[in-house]
Amino acid sequence: MLDSKVAIVTGSTSGIGLAIAKQLASSGCHIVLNGLAESEKIDTLLREISDMGVNAQYISADMSKPDEIEAMIADVYQKHGRIDVLVNNAGVQHVAAVEEFSREAWDKVIAINLSSVFHAIKAVTPIMKQQGWGRIINVASIHGKVASPYKSAYVAAKHGVLGLTKTVALELATTGVTCNAICPGYVLTPLVENQISDTAKARGISEQQVMDDVLLGTQPTGRFTSADDVGAMVVFLCGAAANNITGSEQVMDGGYISG
State the catalytic residues: 154
Compute CA distances 152 → 149, 159, 164, 218, 244, whole Å: 7, 11, 18, 18, 33
Among 11, 66, 134, 254, binds ligand NAD (CB under 6 A): 11
Q: Per-residue x/- marks for ligand NAD, 44-63, CB under 6 A?
A: ------------------xx
User: Binding ligand NAD by CB under 6 A: which of 96, 110, 147, 192?
Assistant: 192
Question: Looking at 96-104, 121-129, 186-194, 239-247, which segment touches ligand NAD (CB under 6 A)?
Answer: 186-194
Q: Which residues are 252's β-sheet partners?
A: 184
Cα–Cα distance for residue pair 89/158, rounded to 1 Å: 11
Residue 214 touching ligand NAD (CB under 6 A): no
Stretch that binds ligand NAD, among 47-55, 127-135, 172-180, 181-189 (CB under 6 A): 181-189
Q: How far apart are CB 102 and ligand NAD at their closest, in Å? A: 17
Residue 180 found at the interface with ligand NAD (CB under 6 A): no
Q: Determine which residue in the list 23, 27, 57, 89 makes contact with ligand NAD, applying CB under 6 A.
A: 89
From the list 36, 96, 146, 205, which residue makes contact with ligand NAD (rule: CB under 6 A)?
36
Q: Contact, 84 vs 74, CB < 8 A? A: no
How far apart are alpha carbons 183 and 158 in whole angstroms? 9
Footprint of ligand NAD on residues 110-149 (CB under 6 A)? 112-113, 139, 141
Residue 96 makes contact with ligand NAD by CB under 6 A:
no
Write down how long the chain is.
259
Please report whether residue 231 would count as binding ligand NAD according to CB under 6 A. Answer: no
For the bound state, the minimum distance from the C-beta of residue 66 to ligand NAD, rounded and expressed in Å, comes to: 12
User: Given the complex with ligand NAD, which of 230 and 242 has the nearer CB atom?
Assistant: 230
Interface residues toward ligand NAD, by CB under 6 A: 11-17, 34-36, 62-64, 89-92, 112-113, 139, 141, 184, 186-187, 189-192
